[in-house]
Chains A and B, each alone.
Chain A
Amino acid sequence: MTTGTIFNFFNLLKEDGISFAYRGSFSNSVLAMATELIKNNMDEEHSKLRNKLSFLMIESFQNIARYADNDEENQDPTPTSDFFMVRNVGNIFFVISANLIDNDKVPLVRDRLTKVNTLTKKELNEFYREVLTNKQINQKGGAGLGFIEMVRKTEDKLPFDFVKVNEEKSMFFMQIQLRNPNVENPSEDVSIEDAKFIQKNIASEKILMMHKGSFSQDAVGPVLKMVEDNMHNMKLKMQKKIYHFLVEILQNISKHSFVLDGEREGIFLMGMNGGRFEVGTGNYIASSKVDSLKAQLDLVNSMDNEALNHLYRKYLREGRVTETGSAGLGLIDLARETEDKIKYEFTPVTDEYSFFSLTVKF
């Protein structure tokens, strides 16, 4: 992950009101946090979709569990690890899943999806009753009930695709689409090709979690909890360091980022590369603040840990008043949490604001 990666993802998801992607092993806590994160971040105009969306996220998650033929367990994520994403573009919410499936199951899943995608509303209800009363239940349960429910709930088709990985497995992509009917100027469809492209990029950059949206305190809480839940097999000291770094950096974005169209928008990426944890953030910042922030970053990057500790203690005791409040203290703290230097980049967007991206390795 480089500072360029962060800018690229931010641009790729530019039209997204909120987007959240997760790759790796799935647990109920991830689902709970993802649901909370999306709920907290939904704009008021979409609030009526909340319950439906939560339901669809749960269905999608369970679908991954139901159809996934993934042999890996507790290993580092691979390019074909389970993938889950929720994004909001205009008046549509997309719930995307991708997971490995045995090639010999592909025809069955394809048939089921093709069927539910071609049925009318009336036919779908009849089919639903038929499946419900059918005593024959397939091995992994479900018999396509999940798919039927998704179509009934969204009143939309379920785009899907299979990408062959090898002689045994394929990657199964599916996209649930939930429209807000009460919004004028409905947005255009987003092809499942888009989802495949995002998954590919997230996998190749070895990203485990990505969140783009508003960085208010409400929004940050669930992200932190999710990260915490994902660090269980790490040493406590490392967990605390990473956690500490995230609190500081996310709160910093929430406090100091440039307000564009009433939002403090940002992107947060977390990855694992070569056994090391990587964190990246990106947000807009007023161009007038760039020079002073750059100077502060260069200063902490030029100091060794002893010097940073000394400066930190001095500030603790004496306090320090800067135009950005406690930014000085937070930044020194960030610098001493990581052994590598903080890598950063400012990309001018307009005269008024720039994009500030930052990466750190642990």
Chain B
Amino acid sequence: MLGRLHIQPTDDLPGIILDPKNGEFRIWGRVIPEDGNKFFKPILEWVEEYVENPNPETVFYIKLDYYNSSTARMLSKLIMILEHIQEVNKKIKVVWEYSKDDEVMYERGDELKSISYLPFELKPL
């Protein structure tokens, strides 16, 4: 089984836990890297490897306060990679968590949902 990936959040980068053993998949915080590619490369690589042999059910939680456009593209890449889980007949769901009075994060989640081909839940907190 793929090892656990854990990154502590900073002022401009998110916290990440990818832990197949305990079934925990989570990204949270504020994401404003100047170069989204650089930060997300190892994370997307990890996920690419994971979707080859995923858990029977994966629930991926995304809870962001804010992200920039260089990250938007990375999030859509992440979702497109996760879509592959369905091809090996396993279950995947993305849960987009947002503060209930945060219209902007709701709209952004809704936008990502509209371009996704997997179960995508918008969950107000």
Contacts and interface: CB of A to CB of B under 8 A. Distances in A.
A236 interface: yes
Interface string B32-61: 101010000000000000000000000000
B119 to A, nearest CB: 17
A347 interface: no
Which residue of B11, B32, B103, B111 has the most chain A CB atoms within 10 A of its CB atom? B32
Interface stretch (A92-100, A131-139, A311-319): A311-319
A326 interface: yes
A122 to B, nearest CB: 47
Contact of B101 (A221, A236, A316, A329): A236
A240 B72 CA distance: 15
Given A241-B104, A316-B76, 5 more contacts: A236-B102, A237-B103, A240-B105, A244-B66, A313-B114
A221 B12 contact: yes
24 contacts: A217-B34, A221-B12, A236-B103, A240-B102, A240-B105, A241-B104, A244-B66, A244-B68, A247-B32, A247-B68, A251-B32, A251-B34, A254-B34, A255-B34, A309-B111, A313-B111, A313-B115, A319-B73, A319-B77, A326-B69, A330-B68, A330-B69, A330-B70, A333-B72
Nearest to B65: A240
Interface string B1-44: 00000000001100000000000000000001010100000000
Counting chain B residues whose Cβ lies within 8 A of the other chain, the interface size class is 20 to 34
Nearest to A309: B111
Counting chain A residues whose Cβ lies within 8 A of the other chain, the interface size class is 20 to 34
Contacts of B103: 236-237
A237 B104 contact: yes
A264 to B, nearest CB: 12
A277 to B, nearest CB: 15
Interface of B: 11-12, 32, 34, 36, 66, 68-70, 72-73, 76-77, 80, 101-105, 111-112, 114-115
B69 A333 contact: yes
A244 B104 contact: yes
Contacts of B111: 309, 312-313, 316
Contacts of B12: 221
Interface in A17-56: none
Interface string A223-253: 0000000000000110011011001100100
Contacts of A244: 66, 68, 104
Nearest 7 pairs of A and B residues by beta carbon: A240-B104, A316-B76, A330-B69, A333-B69, A237-B103, A329-B69, A317-B115
Given A221-B11, A248-B68, A251-B68, A316 B104 contact: no
Interface of A: 217, 221, 236-237, 240-241, 243-244, 247-248, 251, 254-255, 309, 312-313, 315-317, 319, 326, 329-330, 333
B interface: dominant SS = helix
B85 to A, nearest CB: 18
Contact of A316 (B34, B36, B115): B115
A329 B34 CA distance: 13
A301 B120 CA distance: 32
Contacts of B115: 313, 316-317
A254 B68 CA distance: 14
Contacts of A319: 73, 77
Contacts of B69: 248, 326, 329-330, 333
A243 B66 contact: yes
Contacts of A217: 34
A317 B75 CA distance: 10
Contacts of A236: 101-104
A329 B66 contact: no
A330 B105 CA distance: 17
Nearest to A254: B34
Contacts of A316: 72-73, 76, 111-112, 115
Contacts of A240: 66, 102, 104-105
A244 B70 CA distance: 12
Contacts of B105: 240
A318 B114 CA distance: 14
Contacts of B68: 244, 247-248, 251, 330
A108 B81 CA distance: 71
B70 A326 contact: yes
Which residue of B12, B34, B77 has the most chain A CB atoms within 10 A of its CB atom? B34
A324 B104 CA distance: 27
